[in-house]
Amino acid sequence: MTLEPITLEGRFVRLEPLAESHHAAMCDVSLDPALWRLIPYRMTTPEEVMAYIRSRLEAFAAGSELGFATVEKASGRVVGSTRFMNIDAANRRVEIGGTWIARPWQRTAINTEAKYLMLRHAFETWKCMRVEFKTDALNHQSRNAILRIGAKEEGTLRQHMTTWSGRLRDTVYFSILDSEWAGVKAALEEKLRRGKPPAAATPP
């Protein structure tokens, strides 16, 4: 597993290595309080957005993460962020997480294709044995989205973390194994083949 900046590009989405140059574009779509209701952290000011970006860059330098700006190809707009995290090269394991997408672009092909591109890179380039996902037990939209891409639910870690609001979060874990990737890949490619570009959207 070689950790280096990469760009992953599909039909609907381009995942660009996260950089400070994405700051203004991320501010345009991320300062929506409703977006962070079920995410452990939140960004409410341009300063917090820059701190978020710099934290991701520090984690990349430490070898534990590879962050992306999620770009809608049709418009060229940054609509969110995602990352490879908890990278464990020795055990060929990685987590796809830290994902947020601005509300106008949720429930579109953006997230499905982003996950497909990242899974393909994890299994086919990095030769991972396992890719993990986790989400808030209360976040049914996220849980259903993870199941739809073909991951298996593994269990719940109770009082796993404290969110920005002080709430103790139960976290649900999911995974896809290398032996399952061929079937998951075929199903995702069929979803994307039938998919349509996201409708034009404006930020909240």
* DSSP letter string, 2-36: ------EE-SSEEEEEP-GGGHHHHHHHH--GGGG
C-alpha dist (Å) from residue 30 to 35, 40, 44, 181: 7, 15, 8, 32
Q: What proportion of the chain, given as a percentage, has pLDDT over 90?
A: 87
- Residue 203: what pLDDT? 37
- In three-state form (DSSP H/G/I as H, E/B as E, the rest C), the secondary structure along 113-137 is HHHHHHHHHHHHHCCCCEEEEEEEC
Element of type H or E holding 191? helix 181-194
pLDDT at residue 197 in the model: 57
Contact 101, 70 (CB under 8 A): yes
Q: In the prediction, which pLDDT does 200 show?
A: 43
pLDDT of residue 194: 85
Q: Rounded to whole angstroms, how far apart are CA atoms 203 and 180?
A: 37
**Percentage of residues in the chain with pLDDT exceeding 70?**
95
pLDDT for 107: 85
Domains of the chain by start residue, with CATH: 8-194 (3.40.630.30)
Q: How far apart are CA 180 and CA 185, in angstroms?
A: 9
State how far the Cα of 138 lies from the Cα of 123, in Å rounded to an integer: 29
Per-residue confidence (pLDDT) for residue 196, from 0 to 100: 59
Mean pLDDT across the chain? 93
Q: How far apart are CA 109 and CA 167, in angstroms?
A: 31
Alpha-helical (H) ranges within 23-128 are: 23-30, 46-61, 109-120
- The pLDDT value recorded for residue 38 is 87
pLDDT at 202: 38
> Do β-strands 130-136 and 152-162 pair in parallel, antiparallel, or remain unpaired?
unpaired
Question: How confident is the model at residue 14, as a pLDDT?
Answer: 98
Taking 50 as the pLDDT cut, the residues of the chain under it are 199-204
For position 1, what pLDDT does the model report? 79
Strands 77-88 and 168-177: unpaired
- The H or E element spanning position 97 is strand 93-101
